[in-house]
Chains A and B, each alone.
Chain A
């Protein structure tokens, strides 16, 4: 008798348990189906409970990263491809198309809200301010990454020039591109970051990409770079920066367009 021979009785029991096992496993998998769908929509109890973890995640990241820890920067050799555009890549808005036709000569960046000195800056004025160039990795919430060289004006300089009032807590970005349509009209992209990220040394208002002017698909004439967060926190087609003290008047109240659609406000992971 060979060592590995299995008795006939035994074979039946093995077949039985394999059948039982696959049934059991598929039962567990099937229960994943749509059993939780209704509990997970924005505003439902379970969803709100689970979202508490977002606050914990945010505080843990703030605690560990502190104010000024820098995102990794890369070398020219790491720039192997054009920056991948995502979201809106060619705004269909008349205002935007008008500004683009004139190569953004009439475009201004407005700085308003809780500031002492509201500003209206042309592209030349922004470009004449001290600039920062950084080769960083753009991480999309979807999972992909792309390394590119960004040139722009540190947001902190613009904020200093406008003199932020003490009650201001967030910087809200207003954009020219329509991301969505609702019954009450077109929704243009919007988002917020707090003043810690706004004053982070790598947070810039970028007008240059890989040594050239920022192309339309990547957000011309101006987009934000917030290097310790994911791509949805870096609005494109910027035209207004508003200092606010909360999210009450920011879209649906969760701090940004994607946040109103279920993304976490702090996109650090």
Chain B
């Protein structure tokens, strides 16, 4: 019953009409365009960011980096052992051997000491200056696109209609988690609760936090917004948060891709390229739904 009600509201009087009743216009051009600009920007920002990190593959807590004392919470490095050079990653004092990927990597026989491996950085060789050029270029693109999306989505109702959490979302959450765990997807016009949490979390928490912590790393912006680092706990803490948010965004990306593949990649891709999305046909029992998913 609930799913019938949901698909009816999705194809309500305001929705664009298709001759095929299950095909609905789901994503506006603003959503589609900004989505792909973000995808490209985040790709370049991630790989240039990992290159920048390689210049100092350590993370600290506080205002400064501890050289005369220890405030390092994360480190990627290389060390000489009796078995030859090994790469390691140390998190909160726990050390892991990450030879081949983190700390010590490269073509067999030509390994070098480097934080993230060459396949994960732009440029592939060590070049901090170039990585900064790439990183800051896409930082402008990403930030501008986020602002454009925010304005467009407030105007066209995308945020209010699709992303704003409702009481109903909370009630649906347990069912939603079970459905996702079973890879059982309902193709409706609306986002489900977990989707709202994921997209809302990225757009309203992670990306703004990325921009804020990025600005907090700038000595010139520190003279404009001196309170920023005080709120964040110091410049080195801001850098650690910047890195952590990167990990969360990578986590989001992986889950995002898995969910698309599981929910039907053709249909999902069509909706983010053309806007048109095939919803589940109105059904009275769950079996029909399951088959089409």
Chain A: residues with CB nearer than 8 A to chain B? 3-4, 6, 10, 14, 17-18, 20-21, 24-25, 28-30, 32-34, 36-37, 40-41, 47, 50-54, 56-57, 61, 64-65, 69-72, 74, 78, 80-82, 84, 137, 139-147, 227-230, 258, 261-264, 268-269
Question: How far apart sit A40 and B139, CA to CA, in the bound complex (Å)?
Answer: 17
Chain B residue numbers with a CB within 8 Å of A3 are 178
Taken together as a complex, chains A and B put the C-alpha atoms of A51 and B135 apart, in Å, by: 11
Over the window 42-80 of chain B, the binary record of Cβ atoms lying under 8 Å from chain A Cβ atoms (1 yes, 0 no) is 010001000011011010100111111100000000000
Within 8 A of A (CB), among B203-223: 217-223
| Contact digits for B114-138, partner A, Cβ 8 Å, 1 yes 0 no | 0000111111110111101110110
Q: Counting chain A CB atoms within 10 Å of each CB, which of B60, B130, B140, B221 scores highest?
A: B130
Instruction: Assess A37 versus B223: contact at CB under 8 Å? Given A137-B235, A262-B133.
Output: no
Which residue of B55, B69, B124 contacts A141 across the interface (Cβ within 8 Å)?
A: B55
Check A70/B235 contact, CB under 8 A, given A21-B258, A32-B121: no
Subset of 9 A-B contacts with CB under 8 Å: A21-B254, A25-B257, A32-B43, A53-B139, A72-B223, A84-B65, A140-B56, A146-B64, A269-B220
Residues of B within 8 A of A24 (CB): 257, 261
Q: Which of the listed residues B43, B127, B136 has the most CB atoms from chain A within 10 Å of its own CB?
A: B136
Say whether A50 contacts B129, CB under 8 Å. no
Bound: A264/B130 CA distance, A: 9
- Closest CB of chain A to B34's CB: distance in Å? 19
Partner of B69, one of A10, A57, A80: A80
- Alpha-carbon distance between A263 and B123 when the two chains are bound, in angstroms: 14
Given A84-B67, A261-B129, check contact A4 B136 (CB 8 Å).
Answer: no
Residue of B43, B65, B118, B178 with most chain A CB atoms under a 10 A cut-off: B65
Question: Do A142 and B224 have beta carbons less than 8 Å apart?
Answer: no
Provided the pairs A53-B136, A72-B223, A72-B229 are in contact, do residues A17 and B130 lie with their beta carbons within 8 angstroms?
no
Which residues of chain B have C-beta atoms less than 8 A from A33's C-beta? 118-119, 124
Question: Which A residues are CB-close (under 8 A) to B220?
Answer: 61, 65, 228-229, 268-269
* Residue contact A40 to B130, C-beta cutoff 8 Å: yes
Q: Given A145-B63, A147-B64, A229-B219, do A56 and B130 touch, yes or no (CB 8 Å)?
A: no
B183 within 8 A of A: yes
Nearest opposing residue in chain B for A266, CB measure: B220
Tell whether B231 is near chain A: CB-to-CB under 8 Å.
Answer: no
Count how many chain B residues have C-beta atoms less than 8 Å from C-beta atoms of the other chain.
56
**A20 CB contact (under 8 Å) in B56, B67, B125, B261:** B261
Given known A3-B178, A21-B257, A268-B221, contact A142–B56 (CB-CB < 8 A): yes
The answer to whether A146 and B136 touch across the interface, beta carbons within 8 angstroms, is no
Contact at B133–A54, with CB atoms within 8 Å? yes
CB of B226 within 8 A of chain A?
yes
Q: B183 to A53, Cβ gap below 8 A? A: no
B130 touches A262 (CB 8 A): yes
Q: Is the CB of B182 within 8 A of A145?
A: no
**In the assembled complex, B147 has its CB within 8 A of some CB on chain A:** no
Whether A258 contacts B129 by the Cβ 8 Å rule is yes
| Residues on the A chain within 8 Å of B65, using CB | 84, 144-146
Do B123 and A36 touch across chains, with their CB atoms under 8 A apart?
Answer: yes
A146 to B56: give the CA distance in the assembly, Å. 14
With a cutoff of 8 Å between Cβ atoms, the chain A residues found around residue B123 in the complex are 34, 36-37, 40
Assuming A139-B219, A139-B235, is B183 touching A25 (CB within 8 A)? no
B68 and A268 form a contact (CB under 8 A): no
Given the contacts A14-B262, A145-B236, A261-B129, A37 and B218 also touching, CB distance less than 8 Å: no
Q: Which residue of chain A has the shortest Cβ distance to B127 in the bound complex?
A: A262
Nearest-neighbour CB distance to chain B for A12, whole angstroms, equals 12
Once bound together, how far apart are the Cα atoms of A65 and B137, in whole Å? 20
How far, in angstroms, from A197 to B16 measured CA to CA in the complex? 57
Which of A14, A53, A146, A230 contacts B219, CB < 8 Å? A230
Question: Closest CB of chain B to A42's CB: distance in Å?
Answer: 8
Using CB atoms, name the residue of chain B closest to A26: B119
Q: Which residues of A contact B68 (CB under 8 A)?
A: 80-82
Whole-angstrom CA separation of A172 from B236 in the bound complex: 31
Q: Write out the residue numbers on chain A whose beta carbons fall within 8 Å of the beta carbon of B261.
A: 17, 20-21, 24
Q: Given A4-B181, A47-B133, A64-B224, A143 and B53 touching (CB < 8 A)?
A: yes
